[in-house]
Amino acid sequence: MRGQFRVVNELLLFGIGALIALSVAETVSFVVSSLQPQTEKDQYYMLANLVSMATTKMYICGQYSNCSLIVDIPQKLSEDRYLISILNNKIFVSNFRTGEEINISAPDFSDKNMNGYATSSARYFVLDSINKEISLSRRW
């Protein structure tokens, strides 16, 4: 009888431990999946602000001469590839997979036109300030 009690005790202890481990794993998985859309949007806004700051730098540099700026970007944000584009003083960052996008207003440089796009697969984008235009592009 004593041996059976010990075996049943160990099985119950193992079962309770497994239940605790599974519930903790499920809770962590739920929290991560619920936070991912918000963190993705925050990352896209930070990237759009980076592009905005880079265009400001190119505007200032372009007042004196033609210049270029290379900016490193992450290959993926929240495990997805993305597209950065500038069109009519708006900066867009959009997700390739879902099609969701955010946009912010670029600084208003009335004497310069801004346009172009770059994808995350290039790992960096190039801003060129030539004459009256600031262009965003990707180069391999």
Assess whether pLDDT exceeds 70 at residue 139. Answer: no
**How high is the pLDDT of residue 50?**
92
For the chain, domain boundaries:
40-137
User: What pLDDT is attached to residue 2?
Assistant: 67
Q: Cα 108 to chain center, whole Å?
A: 24
Provide mean pLDDT across the span 93-122.
Answer: 85
Give the pLDDT score at 46. 93
pLDDT digits (tens, 9 = 90+) for 46-89: 999 999 999 999 888 888 888 888 888 888 887 888 999 998 78
| Burial letters 1-26, b for 16+ CB under 10 A, else e | eeeeeeeeeeeeeeeeeeeeeeeeee
